[in-house]
Amino acid sequence: MSTKIIISGGGTGGHIYPAVAIANALRELEPGIELLFVGAEGKMEMEKVPKAGYAIVGLPIVGIQRQWTLANLAFPYKLIKSLNKARKVIKDFRPSVAVGVGGFASGPLLLVASAMGIPTLIQEQNSYAGITNKVLSKWAKKICVAYPNMERFFPKEKILFFGNPVRSDIINIDQKREAAAQHFGLKADKQTLLIIGGSLGARSINRSLLQGLQRLADAGYQVIWQTGKDFDGQAQEALQGLKCPGIQSYPFIYEMDLAYAMANVVISRAGALSVSELCLAEKPAILVPYPFASEDHQTQNALSLVEQKAAIMVKDEQAGERLLDTAIELLHNEPLQRELSHNIRSFAQPQAAACIAKEILALVHSKKSKTES
């Protein structure tokens, strides 16, 4: 009988892609394993997870708005409905272990799983734990974290410090530059700037680049720009007027291994997943932390690299006046690119997904041993 694992959570790429990386690692360790994702209806995991090759079930769960709105009145009803659906999903699928990666859906699923006696494991990506994971930690068997000092939020005896699981295809990407150039229709020997504001885009980054497209074109640099869907129209309109084939925009980039392979310099937010990927890809980075993240943890993520001369930081409120100049200076300064690339490499944790997958399977085997005894 094959092992069955449920992985729940989502809402943003920062939750979804670690979950997919864990699933991929589980498949590598146990090829016959059965995996089911549980997400929130209408959220991006309902699209991204099937694209990664996995089945997913949606719960009607929603978050509570910090400011009072009429939508908050529906929360208790949707929570109860989600708990009932989670119970049915678990009864039908019969998993050995349930894994939560944060986000709306992981709450109801892991609460029900714990109540039904199914071992649970949590993976927390950020330096400041989310409220869902803090609540679920009371019942979790193991808590896998990416930053030190997480005993502030979780029971110390449950914590495993493995780093963030990221897609394995961004390892050794130097060999993919020619393929990347062909994929994006760019020249492999030209300096290329990659802009990724997160899966939903970043307004300050997008606006800064919009103002400076002509300067980048005049300087002869290539650009791969992930705008997010809300800014896609403005970017496309600007590029039509620019008529520069070396500067391209996309609402979302699925082939991130090729995007990283093509990049000489990356502009990015400083979310946990983005930072982990940049370390693994060994890319010179300009980080623009999202200023409204919980406890300003993106700034802390960025500073951990900046203090070791492994990245450059531009504050969000300074992006309009400083970001483009900083990017052009770094594109022009190849010795500094090499220094940043060398220093950021020491932060990489390429085995995170495999380590977490092994802990999940250890919980499976522990449960089987207790059942058999």
Q: Is residue 81 domain-shared with residue 150, that is, in the same domain?
A: yes
pLDDT for 371: 67
DSSP letters spanning 197-256: --TT--HHHHHHHHHHHHHHHHHT-EEEEE--GGGHHHHHHHHHHH--TTEEEES--S-H
Q: Is residue 141 domain-shared with residue 204, that is, in the same domain?
A: no
Q: Is residue 53 domain-shared with residue 154, that is, in the same domain?
A: yes
Asked whether residue 268 is marked as a ligand-binding residue, the answer is: no
pLDDT for 248: 95
For 194, left (φ over 0), alpha (ψ -120 to 50), or beta? beta
Say whether 335 sits in a helix, a strand or coil. Answer: helix
Asked whether residue 274 is marked as a ligand-binding residue, the answer is: yes
Q: Is residue 176 domain-shared with residue 226, that is, in the same domain?
A: yes
Asked whether residue 288 is marked as a ligand-binding residue, the answer is: no
Asked whether residue 198 is marked as a ligand-binding residue, the answer is: no
- pLDDT for 96-126, tens place per residue? 999 999 888 899 999 999 999 999 999 998 8
- Identify whether the C-beta of residue 281 lies closer than 8 Å to the C-beta of residue 170: yes
pLDDT for 132: 85
Q: Is residue 326 domain-shared with residue 231, that is, in the same domain?
A: yes
Q: How far is it, in rounded angstroms, from Cα 316 to Cα 333?
A: 23
Q: Is residue 308 domain-shared with residue 355, that is, in the same domain?
A: no
Name every residue whose Cβ is closer than 8 Å to that of residue 260 and which is 6 or more positions away in sequence: 170, 173, 194, 266, 277, 281, 283
Asked whether residue 253 is marked as a ligand-binding residue, the answer is: yes
Q: Is residue 155 domain-shared with residue 273, that is, in the same domain?
A: no
In this prediction the pTM is 0.80
pLDDT for 330: 98
- Nearest alpha-carbon partner for 110 in 130, 76, 138: 138
Torsion of CA 94, 355, 270, 39, to 10 degrees: -10
Asked whether residue 276 is marked as a ligand-binding residue, the answer is: yes
Q: Is residue 180 domain-shared with residue 71, that is, in the same domain?
A: no
pLDDT for 293: 79
Q: How confident is the model at residue 198 (pLDDT cuts 50, 70, 90)?
A: low
The pair of three-digit structure tokens given for residue 239, joined into one six-digit string: 């590029």
Let me know the angle formed at the C-alpha of 86 by 83 and 92, rounded to the nearest 5 degrees. Answer: 145
For 354, left (φ over 0), alpha (ψ -120 to 50), or beta? alpha
Asked whether residue 14 is marked as a ligand-binding residue, the answer is: yes
Show the domain range for 144. 4-164+350-372
Q: Is residue 155 domain-shared with residue 194, that is, in the same domain?
A: no
Q: How far is it, in rounded angstroms, from Cα 345 to Cα 174?
A: 14
Asked whether residue 277 is marked as a ligand-binding residue, the answer is: yes
Q: How far is it, in rounded angstroms, from Cα 353 to Cα 355?
A: 5
Q: How confident is the model at residue 194 (pLDDT cuts 50, 70, 90)?
A: very high
Q: Is residue 140 domain-shared with residue 206, that is, in the same domain?
A: no
Instruction: Tell me the CATH number at 69.
Output: 3.40.50.2000
Asked whether residue 192 is marked as a ligand-binding residue, the answer is: no
Among 69-83, 226-240, 250-264, whose mean pLDDT is lowest?
A: 69-83
Asked whether residue 294 is marked as a ligand-binding residue, the answer is: no
- Identify whether the C-beta of residue 335 lies closer than 8 Å to the C-beta of residue 343: no
Alpha helices in 94-202 (DSSP H): 106-115, 131-136, 177-184
Let me know the angle formed at the C-alpha of 287 by 285 and 293, rounded to the nearest 5 degrees. Answer: 150
Q: Is residue 342 domain-shared with residue 228, that is, in the same domain?
A: yes
Asked whether residue 167 is marked as a ligand-binding residue, the answer is: yes
The H-or-E segment that residue 352 falls in is helix 352-372
Asked whether residue 272 is marked as a ligand-binding residue, the answer is: yes
Q: How far is it, in rounded angstroms, from Cα 9 to Cα 45?
A: 8
Distinct helix (H) and strand (E) counts, the chain: 14, 13
One-letter amino acid at 325 equals D
Asked whether residue 13 is marked as a ligand-binding residue, the answer is: yes
Number of structural domains found in the chain = 2
Asked whether residue 2 is marked as a ligand-binding residue, the answer is: no
Q: Is residue 319 domain-shared with residue 354, that is, in the same domain?
A: no
Q: How far is it, in rounded angstroms, from Cα 156 to Cα 152?
A: 9
- pLDDT for 278-334, tens place per residue? 999 999 999 999 998 777 889 988 998 999 999 999 999 999 999 999 999 999 999
